[in-house]
């Protein structure tokens, strides 16, 4: 096992990939017309490229439609609006509109025939917030490592994930996954157009965080995404639990019938009789009602875009088989769970985990209130993010040809002394540590960012994160459950929370058996 201290990696920074030659791809012909980008420091960016028609009016709650063509050369010098969403300190979006189906490209290519690997970013935000225009997702510095970087918008909240019986009848297939269909439409655009930017349409990596990582996992089972990507990266995301039928612990994606019932309640709260009337409601009113209607909007097991239980689909080898790179952060639960007590934690688990509750309680020590507070955070981390990631990696390793690489991001700071918070890894991957941090990164943090971004871009290039001068990252197998720790000294070590994940594995297995 090779150990490399993070400060020692600083000497390698100049040796790990990087585009230093002058970029040459300043204009491109794409679906709809010709676009012109902006060159700066050897990188050309193309912002606000439409990949579908504006989903407004009669196109609200419709699959994305073809891009209307334009004449002349479109100046791609500013981001398109983010999709309509409630304001949030976590997702600061410069502008918002229902007309939001735009993507962005950063390319270091010197010529169209460079055929560089492509990385397509899908943002997080609980499927209710986020935008490709957020400063943390600027693709410049990651693209400098020799990849074409694409980021995309997708519809959110009630605009992107409302199911309804009328919509299901209208489509003849299902309803509620318009945001996922947007992602697939953007990937089709990439397949058809990215060669014009010096990218290789046969080497596309999709990567995302939180809801974006969950989206990546869903795309691995969607028949509509088949052939649109060749690698998949998920940071804190995986949708491998059984469908939600009520309020089961650890359940997120609902069945179509549950989602349709939610949609019916939402239309009642809107005060409209049918979908036709709902399509005329102003976007701001629809968003305001969504904030008070107590209806959750999330991707749906619709039997079409998501054909069924992903765990079972993987077991049956019905998935888009690619190498995967997936992982979680050590203190993700801290963002969502502030405190608990011994009594409250025990009650929560017994109410939510059924006959497996005592097994789960035994796996999370909670004899004191301090222990219970830690247990509550860790259980949230594991049930929401880590178990799905681990299950996904095991299934890929057992059922697929592509290898599975798993990480555990454990970088501690004075602000997060107990471990890495949810989304803390994003700046390290994008090499954007200055965004929102104040004071700048330490030398060790800069080196950690170089390490992680090198792994990510190596994976995009070859399907294997390993490369010269980097600590060896083994793929996860049934016989080798080591994961790559990212912290002061990055190395492969045993899965840190294995007993807890095994307890949850029993819970989800019991849930799945009960739904047969």
d(CA 50, CA 185): 11
Q: Is 422 a catalytic residue?
A: yes
d(CA 132, CA 227): 23
d(CA 262, CA 258): 6
d(CA 408, CA 428): 13
d(CA 486, CA 6): 9
Q: Please give the backbone phi and psi of residue 129, each rounded to the nearest 5 degrees, phi first.
A: -150, 175
Given 422, 450, 454, 475, which residue is catalytic?
422
Given 144, 332, 425, 450, which residue is catalytic?
332
Closest alpha carbon to 38 in 123, 136, 120, 139: 139
Q: Please give the backbone phi and psi of residue 44, each rounded to the nearest 5 degrees, phi first.
A: -115, 130
Q: Is 366 a catalytic residue?
A: no
DSSP of 429-471? HHT-TTTTTSS---HHHHHHHHHHHHHHHHHHHHS----TTSP
DSSP code at position 303: S
d(CA 186, CA 50): 9
d(CA 10, CA 30): 40
Q: Count other C-beta atoms under 10 Å from residue 373's C-beta.
A: 21
Q: Please give the backbone phi and psi of residue 435, each rounded to the nearest 5 degrees, phi first.
A: -65, 110
How many Å from the N-terminal Cα to the C-terminal Cα in the chain?
44
Q: What angle do CA 425, 426, 427 make, to 5 degrees?
A: 95
d(CA 155, CA 180): 8
Given 151, 196, 210, 454, which residue is catalytic?
210
Q: Is 210 a catalytic residue?
A: yes
Q: What angle do CA 312, 314, 317 make, to 5 degrees?
A: 115
Contact present, 125 and 156 (Cβ < 8 Å): yes
Strands (E), 345-498: 404-409, 482-486, 489-494
Give catalytic residue positions.
210, 332, 422
């Amino acid at each position: 096992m090779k150990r490399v201290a993070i400060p020692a990696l600083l000497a390698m920074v100049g040796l790990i990939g990087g585009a230093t030659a002058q970029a040459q791809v300043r204009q491109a012909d794409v679906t709809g017309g010709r676009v012109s980008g902006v060159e700066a420091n050897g990188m050309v960016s193309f912002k606000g490229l439409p990949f579908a028609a504006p989903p407004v009016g009669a196109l609200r709650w419709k699959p994305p439609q073809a891009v209307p063509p334009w004449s002349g050369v479109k100046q791609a010098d500013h981001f398109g609006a983010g999709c309509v969403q409630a304001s949030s300190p976590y997702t600061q979006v410069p502008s918002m509109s229902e007309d939001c189906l735009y993507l962005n490209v950063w390319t270091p290519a010197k010529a169209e025939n460079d055929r560089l690997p492509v990385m397509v970013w899908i943002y997080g935000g609980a499927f209710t917030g986020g935008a490709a225009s957020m400063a943390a997702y600027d693709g410049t510095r990651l693209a400098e490592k020799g990849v074409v970087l694409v980021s995309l918008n997708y519809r959110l909240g009630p605009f992107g994930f409302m199911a309804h019986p009328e919509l299901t009848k209208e489509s003849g297939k299902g309803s509620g996954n318009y945001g996922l269909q947007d992602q697939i439409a953007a990937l089709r655009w990439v397949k058809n157009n990215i060669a014009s930017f010096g990218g290789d349409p046969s080497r596309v990596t999709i990567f995302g965080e939180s809801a974006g990582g969950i989206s990546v996992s869903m795309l691995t089972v969607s028949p509509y995404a088949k052939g649109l990507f060749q690698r998949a990266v998920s940071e804190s995301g995986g949708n491998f639990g059984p469908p939600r039928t009520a309020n089961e612990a650890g359940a997120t994606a609902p069945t179509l019938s549950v989602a349709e019932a939610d949609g019916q309640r939402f239309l009642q709260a809107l005060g409209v009789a049918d979908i036709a009337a709902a399509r005329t409601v102003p976007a701001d009113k629809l968003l305001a009602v969504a904030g008070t209607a107590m209806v959750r909007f999330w991707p749906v097991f619709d039997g079409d875009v998501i054909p069924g239980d992903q765990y079972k689909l993987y077991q049956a080898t019905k998935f888009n088989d690619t190498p995967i790179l997936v992982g979680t952060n050590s203190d993700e639960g801290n963002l969502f769970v502030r405190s608990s007590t011994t009594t409250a934690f025990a009650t929560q688990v017994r109410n939510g985990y059924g006959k497996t509750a005592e097994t789960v309680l035994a796996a999370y020590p909670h004899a004191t209130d301090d222990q219970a507070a830690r247990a509550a955070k860790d259980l949230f981390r594991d049930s929401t993010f880590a178990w799905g990631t681990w299950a996904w990696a095991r299934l890929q390793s057992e059922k697929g040809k592509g290898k599975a690489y798993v990480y555990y991001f454990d970088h501690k700071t004075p602000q997060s002394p107990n471990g890495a918070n949810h989304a803390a890894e994003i700046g390290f991957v994008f090499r954007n540590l200055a965004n929102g941090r104040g004071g700048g990164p330490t030398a060790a943090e800069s080196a950690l960012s170089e390490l992680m971004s090198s792994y990510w871009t190596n994976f995009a290039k070859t399907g294997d994160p390993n490369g010269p001068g980097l600590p060896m990252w083994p793929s996860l197998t049934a016989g080798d459950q080591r994961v790559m720790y990212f912290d002061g000294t990055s190395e492969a070590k045993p899965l840190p929370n294995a007993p807890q994940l095994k307890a949850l594995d029993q819970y989800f297995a019991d849930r799945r058996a009960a739904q047969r």
